[in-house]
Structure 1
């Protein structure tokens, strides 16, 4: 019974998606290995832990919010959207899930305070904005279409990538900043396309994101624009030597991104045929930062 309960709570963290944090952080770590004289293993472990607990926290807050609002009972789940389904199946887990979400947030906060004590107040804006995004995402940010559009990418890109690099090196770097913008556009797209199947259900509970505001078709063109921006920034950054040449390994995911873009526009209003695009979108978001990190190390 205990294991069954724990597994149900754990499922609300969306564990399959928690790999996104290490993939995004890999860019900061790769740059730090190139630029820093020494890297402390404890710092790497704490950065990874903070990234994963922050991600798990926002996922669990979101699952709790979707259950309480009734959204969970209206969505048609896909492997990439609609939540885990754990709380509708096990309503008694709702309060424990919310408690664990707060515990994860507290762990993230404590690690952030430790890094703040080590590196100084230059890290404070990143940490403060990150905590606010985690706590307010589900119940506040998801009701503002434009903020909802950029909040995920802001958290995993400029905040997480630049923050991790600063912790490891004690400084900020323009190349890291440009790389974080690539993550910004990719992660925004990850959430944007995953909202397509949930438009009707989200609208019923008062959420306001871009596919509700503009419709799926126009949102699909924004998705394509964000993809183009991500790859465009990568090429520009290498051209201007902000990123090393081997970072162009990230362009290998174009063979996934181009079909995803095509499918998103073609089947924006046909969710059954859109599902392959959701998978391709996940693969692009996970593998592109990892390939860029590999390229930085190789160069």
Structure 2
């Protein structure tokens, strides 16, 4: 999803005739290494606080470098230093090339890398952070670094994309709502309650389509953006799933390799299809 955000910012810069391949590549790599750094810090923080211990939900659906014993603490910090140093070096180079708000964008990115896991995720601000980071910060920031100018239109368009990763995070936090609540992690779904969180996710999914339609009708983007409506069947399946609570046990027909992911898997499938059509719409616009 981070690569997609960088690609989107680059495509919009190309559309406007200001593409710079070197600056885009540096920005793209910087974002990827920053995201890697955040993932490592997320593992460390939740492991240190005891969140990921004793078969906590996190260990049931993915590899955890510390809890699974793949790295010692010393190895972990060396690995972390490498990813953080690369991200910071690329960011500082871009600041030297692009003045203006580039430094502010770098500092904002560093803030979310360092503080997303704690305290933002613990006080219901993780989900809004994802909407901001994968939208205006990543897409709008990439566009600015490549072109040298900020675009409110690009920042608004980026929200159509960023709502997708936000729904995936909502789905994941609903899937593990009970485990988070028991561990004292107050994600937004924990604060909203299971039913309220499912309804909020449905609103976010519908908002993607309404915002896309509004941008076309308002003349801020051309008609190819309506291609995203081809993902409506996936939307309907996702909304249908969100109308009922998650099953307490894996249904017989549900793939064992996906369980216990339920809402997050459905939201990810929809986001993958919606985002593919969204990028296609941008490419078609450029070609036209």
TM-score of the aligned structures, taking structure 2 as reference length: 0.86
1:24·1:289 contact (CA, 8 Å) conserved in 2? no
Q: Larger % of helix: which?
A: 1
Shift of residue 62, structure 1, vs aligned partner = 0.9
Equivalent residue of 2:184, what SS? coil
Match of 1:26 in 2: 7
Q: 1:98 to 1:197 in 2, by over 3 A?
A: farther
Distance (whole Å) between structure 2 residues aligned to residue 149 and residue 246 of structure 1? 29
Distance (whole Å) between structure 1 residues aligned to residue 74 and residue 209 of structure 2? 42
Match of 1:200 in 2: 178
Shift of residue 209, structure 1, vs aligned partner = 0.6
Equivalent residue of 2:101, what SS? helix
Structure 1 residue corresponding to 2:45, chosen from 46, 65, 68: 65
2:231·2:273 contact (CA, 8 Å) conserved in 1? yes
Q: How many residues align?
A: 276
Q: Which structure 2 residues correspond to residues 216-295 of structure 1 after superposition, within 5 A?
A: 216-268=194-246, 270=248, 272=250, 275-295=261-281
Q: 5+ residue gaps in structure 1?
A: 1-19
Shift of residue 175, structure 1, vs aligned partner = 2.6
Shift of residue 131, structure 1, vs aligned partner = 0.8
Q: 1:47 to 1:92 in 2, by over 3 A?
A: closer
Cα shift readout 1:114-157 (whole Å, capped 9, x = no counterpart): 11121212223222111100101112111111x12211121111
Q: Which structure 2 residues correspond to residues 11-160 of structure 1 after superposition, within 5 A?
A: 20-37=1-18, 39-72=19-52, 73-77=54-58, 83-90=62-69, 92-145=71-124, 147-160=125-138
Distance (whole Å) between structure 1 residues aligned to residue 225 and residue 43 of structure 2? 36
Q: 1:48 to 1:63 in 2, by over 3 A?
A: same
CA RMSD of aligned residues (A): 2.3
Cα shift readout 1:176-223 (whole Å, capped 9, x = no counterpart): 112111133222211111012322332333211122222211100000
Q: Mean Cα displacement is larger for which, 127-136 or 110-119?
A: 110-119
Q: Which consecutive segments of 4 or more residues in structure 1 shift more than 6 A?
A: none
Equivalent residue of 1:171, what SS? coil
